[in-house]
Amino acid sequence: MPYSTVQASSALSKPISILTLRKMKEAGEKFVTVALYDAPMAAMAQKSGVEVLLVGDSLGMTVLGYDSTIPVTMEQMIYHVEAVKRGNDKSLIMGDLPFMTYATPEQAMTNAARVMQAGAHMVKIEGGAWLAPTVQMLSERGIPVCAHLGLTPQSVNKFGGFRVQGRDDEGAEQILEDARLLDAAGADLLVLECVPCDLARRITEAVSMPTIGIGAGKETDAQVLVINDILGLTEKPPKFSKNFLVEAGDIPGALRKYANDVKTGVFPSPEHTFG
């Protein structure tokens, strides 16, 4: 379907599942993800047709005032997952496992169960091939998993800062191989953060699971932005973000415009991506 003929839906008509997202990938239909942290925003996003709500450990920086995601605790994540769940009954809710809460498959199992019991429909974890056994264990036990490759904020100290990943051939091939391994292990979704758009396209074509991009170009199956960036609340916004509130005039309008621009291919534009 040409981008120009696609329009973002209004309120979701029925609950979104992993099967829904896989069918959208197969049909070439983009879906929309927003990282947010409370019940009112969750309700507003659902009414704006946002298919996936990410309760991210980004809340450490956007809500709690930390300088990274690393200090975020399980208790803080559970508190915000519960809040988002109370504001939503149709969008799929994804909850992050915080730093060092999934270092072993057994630890991941215990903490993933807590996030799911708080109201999430799946958990998100950051890392490459080393996580394949964890993904397989969670998947086999009925816990859906979103993997996260590229710039993984919990590894910011290892990376030496918030830097684009996969720009050289070796780095790109490693991310591609990690994506294939996690796909084979049973991951259901994959976030690609701050990778060159060509690499994101190659990965999206190589894996069966839907991909969600942030700073990864428009060839992924979906996009995600943090609600603070959508509403222009970030003092120094990242290159990949856009203030939709300034164009829309109000918060519901900003969410609807973001959703429509993703689905029609208007966002992200080249200025929001890395070559």
CA-wise closest residue to 33 among 171, 235, 204, 222: 222
Q: Which sequence spans correspond to the domains of the chain?
A: 3-272
Would you list the DSSP string of 181-223?
Answer: HHHHHT--EEEEES--HHHHHHHHHH-SS-EEEESS-S-SSEE
The SS3 call for residue 252 is: helix
Q: φ and ψ at 141, to 5 degrees?
A: -100, 15
Measured at the CA of 274, the angle between CA 257 and CA 48, to 5 degrees, comes to 15
| pLDDT means over runs of 10, the chain (275 residues) | 40 94 98 98 97 97 94 98 97 98 98 98 97 98 97 76 83 97 98 96 98 96 97 91 95 97 95 82
- Residue entry with tokens 């391994």: 181
Task: Judge contact between 273 and 216, C-beta under 8 A.
Answer: yes
Q: State whether the Cα torsion 180-207-213-198 is positive or negative.
A: positive
Q: Which residues contact 167 (CB under 8 A, 6 or more apart)?
A: 196, 274
Amino acid at site 13: S
Q: State whether the Cα torsion 171-26-257-49 is positive or negative.
A: negative
- Whole-number pLDDT of residue 203: 98
- Whole-number pLDDT of residue 125: 98
Residue in 51, 170, 173, 193 annotated catalytic: 193
- Whole-number pLDDT of residue 252: 96
CA-wise closest residue to 108 among 89, 119, 92, 95: 95
**193 catalytic residue (yes or no):** yes
Would you list the DSSP string of 153-170?
Answer: GGGHHHHTSS-----SHH
Calpha distance 64→82 (Å, rounded): 17
CATH class of 3-272: alpha beta
Percent of the chain that is helix, strand, coil (3-state, to 5) = 45, 15, 40
What is the CB-side half-sphere exposure of residue 158 using CA atoms within 13 A? Answer: 9
Tokens of 71: 């200090």
